[in-house]
Structure 1
Amino acid sequence: MNPSSDSNLFELIKASNHLAYTSIIDRYWEELYRHIYSKIKNSEDAKDMVQDIFLSLWKNRLNIILNKNDSLAPYLFRSAKYAVINHFSRPGVTLADEQALSTALEAPSEIKTDDLLLVHELQNILENEVSQLPERLQRPYRLSREQDLPIREIAKTLSLSEQTVKNNISAAMSAIRFKLGKYNSEGTIIHILALAALLHHK
């Protein structure tokens, strides 16, 4: 048995072994950083997101279950995908490149049965909040997130400029996140936006 395998190192991490934790960080940091940077094109944000992923790994180490190959990679890169989606849905982040978010959703991802059950409940919450948005925000949001139309087509459909469409989608995402703030204590906002987006792209 390889003592440096992910599974063996993770057993040590669960026992609060910092050396094993550092080994996992060294093993995956660069790969995660490059993966996230390729999606968001922002070095500092990418570094912060990788740091948050590893902090979450440590914080949740007792609840994480490795995949059938005893590798941490699926967990880490699934976390990276959610982090990228969350990045584009943050208040103040303009979706200057709609394709970037679509690209972030294209990589294969493992969604467990529990996630699939949860996502339907979360989608109901999301749908309720979206339906309360003003029409000028709700319509471009739905065309983008639910019908997968690119910015150019949405602008043409609504007779708006592409920048106005981008701004309206960004404003819609910000409004949704603000309304869902009451769920933030359990990180549910990320699940609502990320898992719902993943389901739309299946």
Structure 2
Amino acid sequence: MKRSTDNHLMELIRKNDHRAFTLLVDRYWEDLYGHIRIKIREKDDAKDLVQDIFLGLWKNREQVSCNQQGSIAPYLFGAARYAVISYFSRCGVLVPAAQSLTVFQEPVSAFYSDEPYLLKELQSQIEHEVDSLPDRLKIPYRLSREQQLSIKEIASRLSLSEQTVKNNISAVLAKLRARLGQYHSDSTICLILAIATFFHDH
């Protein structure tokens, strides 16, 4: 069964075959975990997201299907994309170890039905606001969001403590929410920041 195609495994999974499900999990776990781990840079959270993706696959096994090439990978990595966006849409999660997070409640799909103009406009406003910030705030933020450096790497490069870097990035996010809040809801800004972070290298 280990050499079975994704299509065959999914046929068995729809019949509640747990062994086939385990084989499919084993086949894609490492790739999914590595993909998500790079994005969110939190090992335990990445594992939780992967587990949630496979639990979702099992719960929706009767509706989930492979693509025309017989692969389940597009479904899994599509689920990973939305899982990461949902993870980052909690604004505080953008800075590791942040507390008192506000969880974004609206479905992500609602924003994808809008014209691309909304995203482009908000990104432009965010860029303008970031450019206006002092270097002590702007540089750590850009290193984190644009170069995907970790808090530890930024602290080392700038000769700052990790807590200072966290505080500076948190301050940028707070300023962005405050300055853009008069035009957009807080949850919308959170989501746009999340999308901009996730898709920056795509």
| TM-score over 0.5 for the pair | yes
Deviation sequence 1:129-182 (CA, Å, 0-9, x none): xxxxxxxxxxxx986x533855xx5322367943332234578799417xxxxx
The whole-number CA distance in structure 1 between the counterparts of 2:52 and 2:38 is 17
Match of 2:48 in 1: 48
TM-score normalized with structure 1 length: 0.57
CA spacing shift, 1:13–1:165, aligned 2, 3 Å: same
Deviation sequence 1:88-144 (CA, Å, 0-9, x none): 112531357xxxxxxxxxxxxxxxxxxx99832xx38xx7xxxxxxxxxxxxx986x
State the number of aligned residues: 146
Match of 1:176 in 2: 187
Aligned CA RMSD, in angstroms, stands at 4.0
User: CA contact under 8 A between 2:13 and 2:20: conserved in structure 1?
Assistant: yes
Match of 2:123 in 1: 146
SS at match of 1:176: helix
Match of 1:6 in 2: 6
Q: Which amino acid aligns with 1:156?
A: D
User: CA contact under 8 A between 1:6 and 1:24: conserved in structure 2?
Assistant: yes
The whole-number CA distance in structure 2 between the counterparts of 1:44 and 1:58 is 21
Match of 1:24 in 2: 24
TM-score normalized with structure 2 length: 0.57
Question: Which of these two proteins has the greater Rg computed from alpha carbons?
Answer: 2
Match of 2:36 in 1: 36
Match of 1:81 in 2: 81
CA spacing shift, 1:148–1:39, aligned 2, 3 Å: farther
**What are structure 1's unaligned runs of at least 5 residues?**
97-115, 128-140, 178-192
The answer on 1:166 being equivalent to 2:143 is: no
* Structure whose residues are more often helix by fraction: 1
The whole-number CA distance in structure 2 between the counterparts of 1:94 and 1:197 is 11
Give the percent of matched residue pairs that are identical in Structure 1 and Structure 2: 41
